[in-house]
Amino acid sequence: MSTERSQKAEEIMHHTRVLLTSGGYNSFSYADLAERVQIRKSSIHHHFPGKADLVQAVVSDYRHQARAGMAATSHHFAGDVLGEINSYVNFWATCIKENNSPFCICVMLAVELPVLPKEVAQEVSAHFSDLTDWLTDVLVRGENNGVFSLRESAATEAKSLMATVHGAIISARAFNNADVFLQIVEPVIGRLVKAP
């Protein structure tokens, strides 16, 4: 993003993202962060006055990275809508298998949406809107090009695919088995593809 942050602020945000991925908003405190980053709590408050400010910044950066990733995927696979969808799915399959970012922080935070600070909740909801809009666009282009055969509106199919991917991420975690993710998602993508 265009926001200039100190190296220490970036380090605080990195550790916050790790903590959000593993347990959500209410799973950590500034004391937990201070221990991880090896600074005093008051120093964290210097960078981020409150926890809501910190988590909003983390989710905002996450959204920015996700939007950039979607744009890059569409650019890279120009004209190959199935490649775009598979790239999205394979991103998560790789993250889960390599355990480098095995869970979407917005999925984790969505569970807590009713109790999140308003500014954080808005960022989380906006992430799902961004992703739905992108998937809808890919599916519309795929239907227009004769690649996909949609049973519902593109927006409904996009939300269904998104929910399937996120549910498969949860299932892979629940079963402690990375292979479960593709076992769930691949048949759903197969049903979108128009029969030859």
Domains in the chain: ranges and CATH: 60-192 (1.10.357.10)
Give me the pLDDT at residue 98, please. Answer: 87
What is the share, in percent, of the chain residues with pLDDT greater than 90?
Answer: 86
The rounded distance, in Å, linking the Cα atoms of 183 and 177 is: 11
Number of helices (H), then strands (E), belonging to the chain: the values are 9, 0
User: What is the length of the chain?
Assistant: 196
pLDDT tops 90 at residue 126: yes
CB contact at 8 A, 139 and 192: yes
Give me the pLDDT at residue 136, please. Answer: 98
pLDDT tops 90 at residue 4: no
Single pTM value for the model? 0.91
The rounded distance, in Å, linking the Cα atoms of 52 and 120 is: 7
The rounded distance, in Å, linking the Cα atoms of 105 and 113 is: 12
